[in-house]
Amino acid sequence: MKAAIRRILLANSGVAALVGDRIAWGVLPRGTVYPAISLHLISAPHHYAMSGPSNVATSRVQVNCMADLPVDSDALASAVRGALSGIRVTIQGVTIQGAFLDNEDDLLDGEPHPPDEVHCDVRQDYLIWHAEADVPDTLGSGSGNVLGAG
């Protein structure tokens, strides 16, 4: 899912025009030129049915749209919203069943940086519903209570 989200953002002309390829999961390397995007997986609950895993997860992904000026982080956030919000696609073998913007807020980076590296960012939280790879049945046929059989 992580590679698919990054690829969706890189393939969007509006996002790419602003950040090029400066999109990374986790902390951006020191000295990164802004604007840039930092992605974080906040949570990824997996869904189950009574018969077992449903092979669906809802990942909460935080997208930090970072720039030197608030107007630039706002423009980047708008481009990201256009690329992700409501998307349904299969990319790199991952089926994204839906991506929904759940929250957005403005942040001034409070992390310690040299004075010339202070930046602004818009933080967006997306709920990404996606199919997982098939979960192999390691207990037997998968029909019935295999552990209680006998």
| CATH number where 94 lies | 3.30.2000.10
Domain count for the chain, please give it: 1
Tens digits of residue pLDDT in 29-83: 888 899 999 999 998 878 777 887 778 888 999 999 999 888 999 999 999 999 9
Per-residue 3-state assignment (H helix, E strand, C coil) for the chain: CHHHHHHHHHHCHHHHHHHCCCEEECCCCCCCCCCEEEEEEEECCEEEECCEEEEEEEEEEEEEEEECCHHHHHHHHHHHHHHHCCCCEEECCEEEEEEEEEEEEEEECCCCCCHHHCCEEEEEEEEEEEECCCCCCCCCCCCCCCCCCC
| Inside any domain, residue 147 | no
Tens digits of residue pLDDT in 92-102: 788 999 999 99
| Inside any domain, residue 146 | no
Residue 116 confidence (pLDDT): 57
| Inside any domain, residue 145 | no
| Inside any domain, residue 71 | yes
| Inside any domain, residue 53 | yes
| Inside any domain, residue 86 | yes
Answer yes or no: pTM beyond 0.95: no
